[in-house]
């Protein structure tokens, strides 16, 4: 038996043991990560470049070093030597960057697969929806034509501009508008520095960009119509940037990148820990995300064929930890009881203070946070969905490693959050993976034969629709995990406590190395050559996750005296892909008419765009978030008790009338009567 | 005859030809600049250190190089090698820094005499007066005691502080006060960054410094009473800083330094020229003054035994060129027709944006400018003297290389400026010098014998009071120049046209190399071994200067329909030392009761302190300067004509009733009837 080494692939987080001597590219494929290659591994196309991350990675218990790969060969070196500009532009050096088709695994390594080398580009579910947003940007442009100064009227440049601007603003807004007088207008200092030369170069005809109708932040020669802004959702995993035309609201570019902070910790708690344990931890985390934002800005500007200096404002949202890290605020107290953010209020700050490479006089607006684990992304979700304007009681759930829940209507909004673990996103499940080509995304089990059929991302229809279905499957993603657990329960393979039943007449149910399991895909259906099971352990992970989410939802309902929400809104990529019925069947979400359960995609990104394009919405969400009531689950004395009860499928005390027909052998659970009423 | 070389001494600007081989220290003394020495020129005390400025100095038409001095000797090197820390702290290197007693002049050199090496420290006339200023600083301190966060109330740190602050502010100001609600308070971003750790370290009891009752700029643990601020008058020659306690108004330190920009040009026009001609000119000029401000801040903080971070605000004033250079605004258009500043309005800017080393969250307030040659120093003078609150019509004059004039009362204020040349400050006069020990400061001439008597700075009484009076005089300063010209006119040595009369029976009146002259001090009375004369050329310089000033004053009077001002206020060091009667006798200032002529010293510095200590005064001066009417003299069609007429002593059409008894042989001047009525 050959020697094995651990290979970890970032940013996907896929990892596993591979045989010594295997090429990195082959190893990656084995672990479910496709790396591009055009030249048939001849070291000539360079599409398969990867980066070797060096150091001791405690979390993974490995030491990654360059010499854990075979030495760089003549052809590989020759290829890299021919591309000094590329390497320089990326800041890569030979040795750190390798052709993954050429280098062989000789020890444990952590490999970073850059975006451009990824074979099956990850489906970034965070795409901006087209939605009607009233365009009232914080930045307005005004054309100002001035009489040049002369010896009789040598009034200063700024005052000359301000007086002209007062006139232009009054013309645009009409006589009724409350506008500042010229002497109450301000000009950003950096903008002032170039004012005199701009006015003269423009022959005293300029377009002035005014922020919130009070501060001049840009003066451009001649008549200019368009301004640009960027809305950014900084997720723990993905950073998504939307470049918009501030006049028309048009979406000009949507760019996303993996959050580079992932190398310092996969989830928010481990990043907080990193910042606490390393003196330069905060600085590293902060600089990493700023660098990514600058990269996205550059990409988006290129796509839209504008200059980054033409971007005059950015709106940022993210969970509280992302919020703190992007603002260079220490996240320590977010992670330690009593879990307190530095600030709830929205923040306006000059781009130059954060080193964000838009117009240096431009502002960065960061939406308010609500609690330590209910961040600016939740504020953005509220802004996008507007539960605070409804008569009905809506339950908004953003599911991720952590779930945030908001419940209520125009009279009252309550919120809470709960850790759900990574299982719902496909992590910590044995063959779990992110939603990418090769991932099983749907599972059905025949209740008679106990045989499954499934759908794979990148393959049309069900696997059973194909006569030859071999080697397509790489793993199982979040939506299929929900499906699988629900189906295992529905067809009676697991009981309402989540335990595998013994003695079933199916070779798919078997006792494996790590306990009982159900095989969804046989080894020959996969690209990794192994059976893909749903294990007892996987089912337990889902039980814990769904219990947390369900108990959180029930707590909010109880606190507001409601039996059930009028509508359930699932935000985030996860919500868009799960089968609502199945989610309800396992008790992931409370009982509700199925037609009243909506998946709305990246609501945080939508909310950020709304705040970017409509300045009044910023005041609205500031005001709403000040009134949202926060409930901290750990302070609820019943929480632990209720949590344990809620691990069953589905919770017995819940009516679940809308999925009752699906529930097998429904019997009264003796513990259920204790569940919160 | 030995070879001669040009030696120029900065910052005094003294220059002259000295014999090759003379030590720099001896040369400096010959040129009127004393350099310290304790060790009798043995290269052991190090008090005489000077810096060799290298380069081609077009203005002086010299090339200054290190090898234009004798090579560094063993003892000199040994001395300097023993003081690595001193040199390092100053940023000096051996070779650039020399012991002036050791190095000999071998070529043209520009030498910088650092403050610590100057023998007779210059009398900086800009000293802050004690005056009653109502203390209403822009920064107020509030003590806030908070309940620490707990799991039931985990509200964010900033909101916790803001709510406590709202309560504290209401307690201090009473229920009637209009104060922002807690959610309208802001916190400076840099201050926010350290907020969480400060609150916890302080156990939730802190003192909060709030700027303009709306922005938190500092949070200090426990109860803190005092805050500090600095008011600065940036003169072209001298930068004076006043460190004040913002609660009591107490002046804790007054520090001054030569303006280091002087090496780039002595007057504002030559600095503007420097900025225009050199791509990095503005940057150099800006950085030079910022470095000096930081040095003064450090010195003042040391004197007051506080930390520079405890300084929470700075108010800056200066002429328009100094204003632009300190704000890093290009001064180009100040120096080119139609002479337009970048901005009139007052500016508030974060200290960190300018690199000023006070508290980084602190603000810099720059007073408004009025015109290209009527700067923030004039605004400060108005604020200090308050002509805009008077019923009487006051004429304020700030005399320097340029004179600014403000005339009017509560109903109307008009202003103008005029170049007066450097003669009134003792420059461009053959033996003119600044007011420093050894300078003649008063002159009287006996009308019968035509013999003078004079006073010398640093010597008690008149020269004639001393039986032995030898070698004391180095030159003649501004006040004595006015005296001398007035006396020459009064006793009839020069006529009303300023021409020397021939054939007078005095050996002091003689025809010298450069025309007629009157000897004030014989060579043996001086330390430079030469007769000190007042020449025809010197008289002409004064005529031009006084004509400019007088015409400017008359223009303002005419424009406002006034015959004469009710009061004349002379600001600046110059005004404090001249003899009012003599000034009127030569027609430097318009006719006015002598008791109504006041010298008020450094009004600009006073005004800066007032704005620092009373925030309401900032709005007041903003409003006043917006209403001041500017007159540009060159646009006055009569100006050139009137100017020529005004060169006579005193102007004939002027009543000058208050000095009529002094005027000799007053006859009607045929041209005088044309002078403005």
Q: Do residue A156 and residue B195 have CB atoms under 8 angstroms apart?
A: no
Judged by a CB distance cut-off of 8 A, whether residue B341 touches chain A is: yes
Residue A392 has pLDDT above 90, yes or no: yes
Across the interface, of B158, B197, B340, the residue whose CB is closest to A343 is B158
Q: Which pLDDT tens digit goes with each residue over A366-381?
A: 999 999 989 999 999 9
Higher pLDDT, A670 or A527: A527
Q: From the CB of residue B640, how many other CB atoms can be counted at a distance below 10 Å?
A: 12
Residue B162 has pLDDT above 70, yes or no: yes
Across the interface, of A151, A189, A328, the residue whose CB is closest to B193 is A328
Q: Which pLDDT tens digit goes with each residue over A266-282?
A: 788 889 999 999 999 99
Q: Which pLDDT tens digit goes with each residue over A104-155?
A: 999 999 888 887 777 654 433 333 344 577 889 999 999 999 999 998 888 9
**In which band, very low, low, confident or very high, does the pLDDT at B383 lie, cut at 50, 70 and 90?**
very high
Q: Which pLDDT tens digit goes with each residue over A29-52?
A: 787 777 876 565 677 777 788 989
Residue B206 has pLDDT above 80, yes or no: yes
Q: Which pLDDT tens digit goes with each residue over A528-576?
A: 788 999 999 889 989 998 999 999 999 999 989 999 999 999 987 777 7
Helix, strand, coil percentages for chain A (3-state, nearest 5) = 35, 25, 40
Tokens (6 digits) for A142: 């005004």
Q: Count CA atoms closer than 13 A to A132's CA, side-chain side.
A: 0
pLDDT score recorded for residue B674: 47
What value does the mean pLDDT take over residues A14-24?
Answer: 87
pLDDT score recorded for residue B635: 67
Question: Which span out of A203-217, A451-465, B464-478, B641-655 was modeled with the highest average pLDDT?
Answer: A203-217
pLDDT score recorded for residue B67: 87
Which of A148, A187, A196 to mutate against chain B (most B CBs within 10 Å)?
A196
Which chain A residue lies closest to B154 (C-alpha atoms)? A340
What value does the mean pLDDT take over residues B365-391?
Answer: 95
Give me the count of residues in chain A.
677
Judged by a CB distance cut-off of 8 A, whether residue B630 touches chain A is: yes
Judged by a CB distance cut-off of 8 A, whether residue B55 touches chain A is: no
Residue B505 has pLDDT above 90, yes or no: no
Which residues lie closer than 8 Å to B585 by C-beta, 6 or more apart?
B486, B489, B490, B649, B650, B659, B662, B663
Query: Would you say B614 and B621 are in contact if contact means Cβ atoms under 8 Å apart?
Result: no
**In which band, very low, low, confident or very high, does the pLDDT at B599 lie, cut at 50, 70 and 90?**
confident
Give me the count of residues in chain B.
677
In degrees, rounded to 5, the angle at the alpha carbon of residue A328 between the alpha carbons of residues A322 and A329 is 80
Kindly calculate the radius of gyration of chain B based on its CA atoms and give it in whole angstroms: 28
Q: Which pLDDT tens digit goes with each residue over B46-81?
A: 778 898 988 777 767 788 888 899 999 888 888 888
Which chain B residue lies closest to A622 (C-alpha atoms)? B183
pLDDT score recorded for residue A634: 66
Q: How far is CA B415 from the centre of its chain?
A: 20
> Chain A window 199-238: which residues touch B at a Cβ cutoff of 8 Å?
200
Judged by a CB distance cut-off of 8 A, whether residue A301 touches chain B is: no
What value does the mean pLDDT take over residues A280-286?
Answer: 96
Torsion of CA B179, B183, B185, B188, to 10 degrees: 180
Alpha-carbon span A451 to A504, nearest angstrom: 12
Q: Do residue A192 and residue B329 have CB atoms under 8 angstroms apart?
A: yes
Across the interface, of A151, A330, A369, the residue whose CB is closest to B632 is A151
pLDDT score recorded for residue B394: 95
Residue B331 has pLDDT above 70, yes or no: yes
A-chain residues near B349 (CB < 8 A) = 189
Kindly calculate the radius of gyration of chain A based on its CA atoms and give it in whole angstroms: 28
A-chain residues near B327 (CB < 8 A) = 189, 192
Q: How far is CA A437 from the centre of its chain?
A: 19
Judged by a CB distance cut-off of 8 A, whether residue B462 touches chain A is: no
Q: Tell me the Ramachandran region of residue B209: left when phi exceeds 0, alpha when psi lies from -120 to 50, beta otherwise.
A: beta
pLDDT score recorded for residue A134: 83
Alpha-carbon span A367 to B121, nearest angstrom: 58
pLDDT score recorded for residue A37: 65
Residue B496 has pLDDT above 90, yes or no: no
pLDDT score recorded for residue A127: 35
Q: Count CA atoms closer than 13 A to A241's CA, side-chain side.
A: 27
Q: Hunting for tokens 């359960």 — which residue is that?
A: A597
Across the interface, of A329, A345, A622, the residue whose CB is closest to B193 is A329
Q: From the CB of residue A183, how many other CB atoms can be counted at a distance below 10 Å?
A: 14
**Beta strands B311-318 and B228-234, pairing class:** parallel
pLDDT score recorded for residue B124: 37
pTM (global) more than 0.90: no
> Chain A window 150-179: which residues touch B at a Cβ cutoff of 8 Å?
150-152, 154-159
Residue A204 has pLDDT above 90, yes or no: yes
Smallest CA–CA distance, residue B560 to chain A, in Å, is 18
A-chain residues near B634 (CB < 8 A) = 151
Residue A259 has pLDDT above 70, yes or no: yes
Query: Would you say A31 and A9 are in contact if contact means Cβ atoms under 8 Å apart?
Result: yes
Q: Do residue B632 and residue A353 have CB atoms under 8 angstroms apart?
A: no
Q: Which pLDDT tens digit goes with each residue over A568-598?
A: 999 877 777 788 888 888 888 888 888 898 8
Residue A477 has pLDDT above 80, yes or no: yes
Tokens (6 digits) for A573: 């990529």
Tokens (6 digits) for B365: 């307030």
Q: How far is CA B235 from the centre of its chain?
A: 3
Judged by a CB distance cut-off of 8 A, whether residue B351 touches chain A is: no
Per DSSP, what are the bridge partners of residue A404?
Answer: A398, A417
Higher pLDDT, B474 or B155: B155
What value does the mean pLDDT take over residues A379-394?
Answer: 94
Torsion angles phi and psi, residue B642, rounded to 5: -60, -35
Three-state SS letters, A265-329: CCCHHHHHHHHHHCCCHHHHHHHHHHHHHHHHHHHHHHHHCCCHHHEEEEEEEECHHHHHHHCCC
**In which band, very low, low, confident or very high, does the pLDDT at B309 lie, cut at 50, 70 and 90?**
very high
Q: Do residue B338 and residue A151 have CB atoms under 8 angstroms apart?
A: yes
Q: Do residue B339 and residue A155 have CB atoms under 8 angstroms apart?
A: no
Residue B359 has pLDDT above 80, yes or no: yes
Secondary structure class of A156 (helix, strand, coil): coil
Residue B33 has pLDDT above 90, yes or no: no
Which residues lie closer than 8 Å to B126 by C-beta, 6 or more apart?
B233, B235, B238, B240, B256, B573, B601, B602, B605
Tokens (6 digits) for A344: 């709830």
Torsion angles phi and psi, residue A481, rounded to 5: -65, -45
- By CB neighbour count within 10 A (0-12 exposed, 13-18 middle, 19+ buried), where does B277 fall? exposed
Residue B433 has pLDDT above 80, yes or no: no
**In which band, very low, low, confident or very high, does the pLDDT at A635 lie, cut at 50, 70 and 90?**
low
Which residues lie closer than 8 Å to B263 by C-beta, 6 or more apart?
B10, B11, B53, B110, B112, B288
Residue B21 has pLDDT above 50, yes or no: yes
Q: Do residue A151 and residue B196 have CB atoms under 8 angstroms apart?
A: no
What value does the mean pLDDT take over residues A289-310?
Answer: 96
A-chain residues near B197 (CB < 8 A) = 330
pLDDT score recorded for residue B656: 73
Query: Does residue A145 have a cis peptide bond before it, meaning omega lies within 30 degrees of 0?
Result: no
Query: Would you say A281 and A34 are in contact if contact means Cβ atoms under 8 Å apart?
Result: no
Q: Write down the mean pLDDT value for chain B.
A: 87
Q: Do residue A344 and residue B155 have CB atoms under 8 angstroms apart?
A: yes
pLDDT score recorded for residue A66: 86
Query: Would you say B446 and B491 are in contact if contact means Cβ atoms under 8 Å apart?
Result: yes
pLDDT score recorded for residue B126: 38
Q: Do residue B154 and residue A372 have CB atoms under 8 angstroms apart?
A: yes
Q: What is the ipTM of this complex?
A: 0.81
Higher pLDDT, B624 or A447: B624
Which ranges of A100-238 would DSSP assign to H, the alpha helix?
A: 157-173, 189-201
pLDDT score recorded for residue A572: 78
pLDDT score recorded for residue A452: 96
Alpha-carbon span B660 to B433, nearest angstrom: 31
Judged by a CB distance cut-off of 8 A, whether residue B149 touches chain A is: yes
- By CB neighbour count within 10 A (0-12 exposed, 13-18 middle, 19+ buried), where does B66 fall? middle
Q: Which pLDDT tens digit goes with each residue over A55-71?
A: 777 767 788 888 899 99
Q: Do residue B345 and residue A152 have CB atoms under 8 angstroms apart?
A: no
Q: Do residue A151 and residue B328 have CB atoms under 8 angstroms apart?
A: no
Torsion of CA A247, A249, A253, A256, to 10 degrees: 120
Q: Do residue B369 and residue A156 have CB atoms under 8 angstroms apart?
A: yes
Secondary structure class of A445 (helix, strand, coil): strand
A-chain residues near B157 (CB < 8 A) = 333, 340-343
pLDDT score recorded for residue B431: 77
Tokens (6 digits) for B284: 């150099």
What value does the mean pLDDT take over residues B278-305?
Answer: 96
> Chain A window 522-581: which residues touch B at a Cβ cutoff of 8 Å?
none
């Amino acid at each position: 038996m050959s020697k094995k080494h651990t290979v970890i692939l970032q940013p996907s987080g896929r990892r596993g043991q591979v045989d010594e001597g295997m090429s990195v590219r082959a190893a990656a494929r084995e672990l479910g990560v496709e790396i591009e290659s055009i030249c048939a591994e001849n070291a000539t196309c360079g599409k398969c470049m990867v980066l070797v991350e060096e150091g001791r990675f405690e979390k993974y218990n490995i030491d990654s070093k360059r010499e854990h790969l075979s030495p760089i060969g003549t052809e590989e070196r020759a290829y890299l030597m021919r591309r000094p500009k590329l390497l320089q532009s990326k800041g890569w050096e030979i040795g750190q960057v390798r052709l993954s088709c050429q280098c062989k695994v000789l020890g444990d390594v952590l490999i970073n697969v850059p975006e451009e080398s990824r074979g099956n580009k990850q489906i970034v579910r965070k795409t901006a929806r087209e939605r009607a947003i009233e365009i009232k940007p914080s930045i307005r442009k005004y054309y100002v034509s001035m009489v040049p100064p002369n010896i009789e009227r040598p009034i200063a440049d700024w005052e000359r501009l301000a007086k002209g601007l007062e006139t232009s603003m009054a013309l645009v807004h009409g006589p009724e508008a409350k506008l500042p007088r010229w002497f109450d207008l301000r000009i950003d200092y950096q903008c002032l520095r170039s004012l005199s030369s701009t006015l003269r170069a423009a022959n005293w005809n300029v377009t002035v960009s005014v922020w919130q109708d009070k501060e001049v932040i840009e003066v451009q020669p001649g008549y200019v119509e368009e301004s640009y802004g960027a809305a950014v959702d900084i997720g723990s995993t993905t950073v998504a940037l939307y470049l918009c035309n501030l006049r028309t609201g048009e979406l000009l570019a949507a760019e996303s990148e993996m959050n580079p902070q992932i190398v310092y910790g996969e989830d928010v708690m481990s990043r907080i820990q990193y910042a606490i344990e390393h003196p330069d931890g905060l600085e590293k985390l902060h600089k990493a995300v700023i660098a990514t934002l600058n990269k996205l800005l550059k990409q988006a500007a290129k796509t839209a064929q504008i200059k980054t200096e033409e971007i005059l404002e950015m709106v940022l949202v993210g969970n509280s930890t992302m919020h703190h890290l992007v603002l260079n605020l220490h996240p320590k107290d977010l992670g330690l009881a009593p879990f307190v953010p530095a600030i709830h209020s929205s923040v306006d700050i000059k781009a130059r203070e954060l080193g964000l490479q838009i117009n240096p006089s431009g502002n960065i607006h960061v939406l308010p946070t609500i609690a330590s684990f209910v961040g600016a992304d939740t504020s953005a979700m509220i802004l996008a969905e507007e539960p605070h304007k409804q008569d009905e009681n809506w339950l908004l759930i953003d599911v991720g490693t952590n779930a945030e829940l908001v419940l209520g209507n125009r009279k009252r909004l309550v919120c809470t959050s709960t850790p759900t673990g990574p299982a719902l996103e496909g992590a910590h499940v044995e063959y779990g993976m992110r939603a990418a080509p090769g991932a099983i995304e749907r599972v059905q089990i025949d209740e008679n034969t106990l045989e499954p059929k499934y759908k794979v991302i990148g393959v049309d229809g069900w696997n059973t629709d194909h006569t030859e279905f071999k080697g397509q499957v790489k793993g199982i993603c979040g939506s299929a995990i929900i499906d699988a657990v629900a189906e295992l329960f529905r067809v009676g393979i697991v009981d309402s406590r989540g335990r595998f039943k013994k003695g079933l007449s199916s070779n798919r149910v078997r006792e494996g190395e790590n306990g009982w399991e159900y095989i969804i895909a046989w080894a020959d259906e996969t690209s990794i050559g192994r059976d893909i099971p749903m294990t007892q352990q996987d089912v337990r992970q889902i039980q814990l996750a769904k219990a947390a989410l369900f108990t959180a939802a029930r707590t909010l309902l109880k606190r507001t005296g409601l039996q059930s929400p009028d509508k359930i809104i699932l935000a985030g990529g996860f919500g868009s892909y799960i089968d609502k019925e199945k989610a309800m069947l396992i008790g992931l979400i409370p009982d509700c008419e199925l037609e009243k359960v909506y998946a709305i995609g990246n609501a945080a990104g939508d909310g950020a765009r709304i705040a970017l394009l409509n300045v009044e919405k910023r005041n609205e969400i500031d005001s709403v978030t000040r009134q949202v009531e926060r409930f901290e689950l750990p302070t609820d004395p019943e929480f632990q008790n209720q949590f344990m009860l809620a691990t069953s499928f589905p919770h017995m005390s819940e009516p679940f009338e809308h999925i009752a027909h699906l529930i097998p052998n429904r019997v009264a659970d003796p513990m259920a009567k204790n569940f919160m009423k």
